[in-house]
Amino acid sequence: MKDPSFRRHVLVQCLILFDYFK
């Protein structure tokens, strides 16, 4: 699983989660 789009998706999800918990 070295798909750049997949990694970007995970990063976006992390950012959303982080913003949610802020």
Q: What is the mean pLDDT of residues 6-12?
A: 91
Give the span between the Cα atoms of 14 and 4, in whole angstroms.
Answer: 15
Q: What is the mean pLDDT of residues 4-10?
A: 88
Q: From residue 21, how far is each of 5, 10, 18 by CA, in Å?
A: 24, 17, 5
pLDDT of residue 6: 86
Higher-confidence residue of 13 and 1: namely 13
Q: What is the mean pLDDT of residues 4-13?
A: 90
pLDDT of residue 1: 56
